[in-house]
Every structure is written in structure tokens, then in C-alpha cells.
Amino acid sequence: MITGTLLVQALISGLLMGGIYALVALALALAFGVLRVLNFAHGDLLMVAMYGAVVLHRWLGLHPYGSILVLAVPMLLLGWAMFVGLIRPVQRAGVLVQAQMTLGVSFVIQSAALMIFGADLLNIRTDLEMSVLRVAGVVVSIPLAVGFAVSLLISGILSWALLGTDAGRRVRATAQDPDMARLCGVDVERTQRWVFALSVALLAGVAGCLMTFTYVVPTAGLQYSVLALLVVMLGGLGDLKGAFLGGLLIGVAEALAGVFLNSAVGPAVIYVLFGLTLLFRPRGLFSRGMEA
């Protein structure tokens, strides 16, 4: 029997998980909006940061939240190098070439992780992991709530940076029309390089949040890539607000499917939602993204 408490539990749990999904997708949406390159290795780069958090915890005893700041710099450099070495050369090539390139990177990262760390599940045990807040019979997971807060914070900072700073204006100009931006004196390549590097650096934040309650395996990247792509397409390609809302929607839909459906059909609900969006709102939830 489905009680009110169970329903509220599912809604809250789904919403908080959705916040994390939004955070995973935001970086992808940002990079796509400015570069017009869909990075299929996005989840694998996140997986690299998650392994980084595990290594920092095992070597230095660093808490996953503490690892965010430490990992941000190497992730930024990794993003920078990936843009210069791999993305830039295929930026003007067709979509298929770009997809093949990023998919290739994804396989290389996966295989490297398997060779270095093996297939074992690696996690970080902290006091925070099981901590919860109980409100009227409903359990709120603290790590999920923190993840949600971090997601809100990063979205807020991104919005402010994009709307209220000169650098943000350059980014928006590049996203809207790179040729016109170039004519107006914007160094388009530099802007794109920074945006891609920052989008990869953002994954350090996501990894820090994820590693407080979940684990990492070499194939985790693929799951996160698929998830991020679904969220980004649901929200509209390149639309940050849409990506945030898309993440929340997927989180809630997943949790409610768990309550109402009692089978493997649960995860399929997300794809039904995705299909309906493509059918009726091909430019995303706010109809502001590129047509998928």
C-alpha cells in the first residue's frame, strides 16, 4: 500500500538525487552551449575525479568534500589539455567525428581505470555517509542534501558569472554566435578553452559530493555520461536552467517510478519522459536549447 509518508519520502529523495543529476549535467550543458561539441567522455572524466577523491582519502585521509578543492586544479588542467589536444582539432569536423573522438577518450579512460584500480567497487567511508534528518517519519539523507545545496550554489555562481560579469558576457556571446563574437573582439578560442577546462574542473565538485554516499567502478563513467546526456537533452541542448530542471525531473520520476511500479520498468520511465520531451518540446523544457 502506498502511504502519504512513502510518497513524500520518494519525492524528497528523488528531488535531492535530482539535484546531484543536475550538477552532473550542468557542466556538460555549459560546454556544449559554448563549444557545440557533445562530450561523450563527460561521465568518464567525472569517474577520474571520483577515483581521485578515493586516492586522496587513502593517501592523505582527505574527506571527499576536502578533495573538491584539491582536485579542481588537476581537473582544470586535464580539461585544458583535452581541449587543446583532442577537442580543438575536431571542433570544425562533423558531429560524428566529434562523437567518435570523445567516445574514444571514454574507452581509453575506462580501460586505464580498469588497469590501475581493477574492477572492485571503491568507496569512502565517512561519518556523514549514514547521517540523516528525520522529519515526521520522512528520512532526509544529509550527503544527498549537501549535494543538492552544492548543486544550487554552483548553479547560482554560474548564473551570476554568466549574467553579471564581462567574462560571462564573452561566454554568452561565443555561445550565441562565435563569428559575431570574434568580430566584436572576443577571443573565441580562449573563451572556449576556459569554458571546457572549467566544465571539467566542476566535475571535482560533483565527485566530492558523490563519493560521500556512493562508490566508483571503471564502468561508472558510462552511466553518468548517459544520464548527463539525457538531462541535457531534456532541458534543451546548451540551456543551463533547463539542465537543472531536467536533473530534478529525472530524479523525481525515478523515485516515483520506484513507488508506483514494481519491476525493471522503473528506469524506463525516464526514457519515456525523454521521448515525450523530444516529441513535444524538441528544444527542451523551456524551448530555449538547440533542436535535438
Partner 1 sequence: MKSSYRRWFMRLFAVVCVAPVLVFAQSGNPIAIPMITPLTGPGAILGQDMQKGVAVAVEQINKAGGIKAFGGRPLQIEVVDTQGKPEVVRVEMERLAVRNNAPMILGGEISAGTGAAAQFAETYGIPFINSAAANADLLRRGYKWYFTEQMTSEDEAATWLALLKHLAEKAGGPAPTVAFLYEDSPRGAGIVKLAKKPVEGAGFKVVADVAYNRAERNLLTHVAKVQQAAPEVVMWAGYLDDVAAGLKAMQQLNFAPYILGAGGGPGDPRMPELVGAAFVEKVKLSTVDYFAPDTERAKKFVVPFIKKYGHVPSSYASIGYRAAFLAKAILEKSGKLDRAAIRTAIQGLNIPGEDLISPFKSVRFGPDGRNLGAQNAVTQWQGGQRITVWPPAVAVKPPAPLRRR
Residues contributing to the site for partner 1 (CB under 8 A): 1, 3, 6, 9-10, 13-14, 17, 110-111, 114, 118-121, 123, 125, 129-130, 132, 139, 141, 144, 213-215, 217-219, 223, 254-255, 258-259, 262-264, 266-267
The Cα–Cα gap between 127 and 134 comes to 17
Cβ distance to partner 1 smaller for residue 157 or 261: 261
DSSP-derived 3-state class of residue 291: coil
Q: How many helices and strands, by DSSP H and E, does the chain display?
A: 12, 4
The Cα–Cα gap between 105 and 244 comes to 26
Residue type, 199: S
Q: Are 25 and 243 in contact (CB under 8 A)?
A: yes
Q: How far is the CB of 246 from partner 1 (least distance, A)?
A: 16
Q: Which three cell numbers stand for residue 208?
A: 566530492
Q: Which of 80, 76, 81, 102 is nearest to 204 (CA)?
A: 76
Q: How far is the CB of 244 from partner 1 (least distance, A)?
A: 18
Q: Are 49 and 111 in contact (CB under 8 A)?
A: no
Cβ distance to partner 1 smaller for residue 24 or 87: 24
The Cα–Cα gap between 283 and 242 comes to 10
Q: Point out which residues pair with 141 in neighbouring strands.
A: 132
Cβ distance to partner 1 smaller for residue 10 or 27: 10
Q: How far is the CB of 215 from partner 1 (least distance, A)?
A: 7
Q: How far is the CB of 243 from partner 1 (least distance, A)?
A: 18
Q: Which of 232, 240, 190 is nearest to 88 (CA)?
A: 190
Cβ distance to partner 1 smaller for residue 84 or 140: 140
The Cα–Cα gap between 88 and 37 comes to 10
Name the packing angle between helices 166-176 and 142-164 (round to 10°).
90
Q: How far is the CB of 152 from partner 1 (least distance, A)?
A: 19
Cβ distance to partner 1 smaller for residue 48 or 144: 144
Q: Are 63 and 126 in contact (CB under 8 A)?
A: yes
Residues in the chain: 292
Q: How far is the CB of 9 from partner 1 (least distance, A)?
A: 5
Cβ distance to partner 1 smaller for residue 129 or 189: 129
Q: How far is the CB of 114 from partner 1 (least distance, A)?
A: 6
Cβ distance to partner 1 smaller for residue 197 or 248: 248
